Amino acid sequence: MLLSDFDGWWLDTRCGCGRSTQIPIRMLLREWRRETDIGQIARRLRCRGCGARPASTELVDDIQAGAKGYAGGGPVQRIKV
Ligand SMILES: [Zn+2]
């Protein structure tokens, strides 16, 4: 899973402490080479609240789909990293 294949997607991480963080792939593309494996990036992520590794990390194609009042789009794709 290369970073460049998921431009426009988001990384959705959840930590055991309850904090969740959404990171746009577009932002990661500024810091990492396009052919970087996403798993490699996910392994380096740490929770900003407690410093632990996230309990789960998923790729999501549309982060707004779960938001209140969202009306558009098809089913959301989620891929476990
Ligand atoms: Zn945490």
Residue type, 55: A
CA of 35 to the centre of ligand 1 (A): 28
Helical H runs in the chain? 25-31, 38-44
- pLDDT at position 31 is 95
Domain ranges of the chain: 3-80
CA of 52 to the centre of ligand 1 (A): 6
Residue pointed to by tokens 């290369």: 2
- pLDDT at position 80 is 94
pLDDT (tens digit, 9 = 90+) per residue, 12-63?
A: 999 999 999 999 999 999 999 999 999 999 999 999 999 999 999 999 998 7
- pLDDT at position 62 is 82
pTM over 0.85: no
Burial (CB < 10 A; 0-12, 13-18, 19+), residue 42, is: buried
Element (H, E) at 33: none
